Amino acid sequence: MTVLVTGGAGYIGSHAVLRLLRDGQRVVVIDNLFRGHRGAIARLMSIAQGRLTFIPGDVGDSALVARQIAEHRVHTVMHFAAMAYVGESVNQPLRYYRNNTAASLGLLEAIQQSWTDAERAGRPEGWTGVQKLVFSSTCASYGEPAKQNIPIAETCPQSPVNPYGWSKLFTERMLRDFADQARRDRRSFAWAALRYFNVAGSDPSGLIGEHHEPETHLIPVCLQVALGQREHLSIHGTDYPTPDGTCIRDYVHVLDLVDAHVAVLAALKPGEERIYNLGIGKGMSVRQIIDAVKRVTGRDFKVVHGPRRPGDPPELYADPRKIATELSWSAKITSPDEMVAHAWKWFQANPRGYVD
């Protein structure tokens, strides 16, 4: 059987594809390349040994997706395709609801069609359509939790404060309703939503890595300053009620994140719904990340102190104990220096990302 990875040309999606290929899986990637990279696909193709198919297209095109699911006998889906800039979502909310929520609706329609297609085809090679889906959700769906809810557990009330968070939460709601319908129709379908904050690092091989345009993530921005591609780094607020005055956030290495997706896929049983928060169980401050970058790169760089950004809580990080208890998953890479070192290897070798 084959795994469909939506958004597989993006940062996290490409790392998921790499892991699946290393595990011997056949993979189909659908990505419209709006913010994904054809260069990532080319590098993955170079090690795929014919087990990777790339389809340039929109996940919201249910007819296209349904054709690929049927042609490649897709059994499971990892759904990463999404736009993920919080500020942009505030300025262009409809774009986020179209690209994140409505496109997910198209994907679910294609999955529903796969059950009919499998029956009409006589269930060739035992294929019964898509049976499992793991959704790349977000801890932004929790909004700004009260201090007593930090670290954030899965039971924390979900109350997003931006369209990005809402677009993901609406997709979770659709998945739940879709699965309920499938259960009533006696279809075998299971799903999971994995919620996390900041993803960091890259594959240590250096084959693929992180390339965003524009880049807003703290570690890559620091590395760009270290490379001389930016004049300075701005800290947004140094007077928060935290040990060093800067915001504290959760960082999880992309390899650990992908490992969690694989573990959840393996654990899902027919009809199940699983919700997990992913993280390392503690937060890291902006200053801690900056210090780690300076240590790893051996380069000093200019840091400018600026005012707080509206709506930035002092401290946010996930409580990953549920997935640790149920699936024995925990992050293996918890050192900021190791996360930075993997990212630095990629940035040094590919200072312009996937741009030749």
Amino acid 310 reads P
Q: 314 is written with which tokens? A: 């002092």
pLDDT at 313: 87
- Give me the mean pLDDT over the 238-260 stretch: 97
The string of pLDDT tens digits covering residues 122-168 is: 999 999 999 999 999 999 999 999 999 999 999 999 999 999 999 99
User: b/e per residue, 280-306, with b = 16+ CB within 10 A?
Assistant: bbebbbbbbbbbbbbebbeeebebeee
pLDDT at 356: 56
On whether the CB atoms of residues 168 and 138 are closer than 8 A, the answer is yes
354 assigned to active site? no
Query: What are 316's strand-pairing partners?
Result: 249
On whether the CB atoms of residues 37 and 353 are closer than 8 A, the answer is yes
Q: How many angstroms separate the CA atoms of 39 and 53, rounded?
A: 14
Q: Is the pLDDT score of 39 beyond 60?
A: yes
Q: 100 is written with which tokens? A: 């994140």
Pick the catalytic residue: 11, 96, 142, 164?
Answer: 164
Coil, helix or strand for 197? coil
Q: How many angstroms separate the CA atoms of 168 and 135, rounded?
A: 9
Q: How many angstroms separate the CA atoms of 266 and 250, rounded?
A: 25
Q: Is the pLDDT score of 276 beyond 60?
A: yes
- Give me the mean pLDDT over the 216-237 stretch: 96
Q: Is the pLDDT score of 40 beyond 90?
A: yes
On whether the CB atoms of residues 77 and 2 are closer than 8 A, the answer is no
Using a pLDDT cut of 90, give the percent of the chain over it. 97
- Give me the mean pLDDT over the 98-124 stretch: 97
Residue 66 backbone dihedrals phi, psi, to 5 degrees? -60, -40
Cα end-to-end distance, the chain, whole Å: 35
Domain ranges of the chain: 2-349
Taking all residues of the chain, what is their mean pLDDT, rounded to a whole number?
96
Q: How many angstroms separate the CA atoms of 227 and 234, rounded?
A: 16
Amino acid 177 reads D
pTM, two decimals, is 0.97
Q: How many angstroms separate the CA atoms of 268 and 344, rounded?
A: 35
The string of pLDDT tens digits covering residues 156-176 is: 999 999 999 999 999 999 999
Q: Is the pLDDT score of 312 beyond 90?
A: no
The string of pLDDT tens digits covering residues 83-96 is: 999 999 999 999 99
Residue 206 burial (C-beta neighbours within 10 Å; 0-12, 13-18, 19+): middle
Q: Quick one: which H or E segment has residue 54?
A: strand 52-56
Question: What CATH superfamily is the domain 2-349?
Answer: NAD(P)-binding Rossmann-like Domain (3.40.50.720)
With bands split at pLDDT 50, 70 and 90, how would you rate the model's confidence at 309? confident
On whether the CB atoms of residues 305 and 233 are closer than 8 A, the answer is no
The string of pLDDT tens digits covering residues 43-64 is: 999 999 999 999 999 999 999 9
